[in-house]
Amino acid sequence: MYKMTKIRREVLKVVSLSEQPTTAEDIHAALRGHANLASIYRALNWLEDMEYIKSVSFGSGPRYFFSKEKHYHFLLCKVCGKIQVIAECPLNTHINDFEKRYGFTVSDHVLYFRGVCKECKKRGKRRN
């Protein structure tokens, strides 16, 4: 039987207290050497499998982990790679409509928009 080990508990605490989605490397830095990166990845995978946390990744970038109690959406700049977190959910008003229309019960969702951030637009940088 699987159990909540000390490292899993420490990783869960870091993820739960984080104001934004966090990476394994950020967690490693927060734990200040109390666990190696491989152990942190194993703990994160277990915590996600047991549904204590959720994660999201965008292409070849890192996975971002966050508490299952938190709900995030993302703005991804395709020029500089910056990821901006948006806390409000623009879909809340539509989810009930989707469920009624399609007979589908939504348990979770992730929404992200790709585009160009304010800083890159100011510098006149563009990428399709």
Q: Where are the domains of the chain?
A: 1-68, 71-128
28 CB-contact burial (10 Å; exposed 0-12 / middle 13-18 / buried 19+): buried
Gap between the Cα atoms of 23 and 27, Å rounded: 6
Assigned token pair, 99: 């469920």
Q: Tell me, what's the pLDDT at 88?
A: 83
Q: Is the dihedral of CA 65, 68, 72, 78 positive or negative?
A: positive
Query: 71-128: which CATH topology?
Result: Dna Ligase; domain 1 (3.30.1490)
Q: Per residue of the chain (128 residues), give pLDDT as tens.
A: 579 999 999 999 999 999 889 999 999 999 998 899 999 999 999 999 999 999 998 887 889 999 988 888 899 998 988 889 888 888 888 898 989 999 999 888 888 899 999 999 998 866 65
Q: Tell me, what's the pLDDT at 36?
A: 94
Q: Tell me, what's the pLDDT at 120?
A: 93
Q: Tell me, what's the pLDDT at 127?
A: 60
Residue 77: phi and psi, rounded to 5, are -85, 120
Rounded to two decimals, the pTM is 0.80
Gap between the Cα atoms of 16 and 125, Å rounded: 36
Q: Tell me, what's the pLDDT at 31?
A: 96
Q: Tell me, what's the pLDDT at 60?
A: 78
Gap between the Cα atoms of 24 and 45, Å rounded: 11
Range 1-68: architecture per CATH: Orthogonal Bundle (1.10)
Are 75 and 115 in contact, with CB atoms under 8 Å apart?
yes
Tell me whether the CATH fold assigned to 1-68 matches the one assigned to 71-128: no
Q: Which residues pair with 114 in a beta bridge?
A: 76
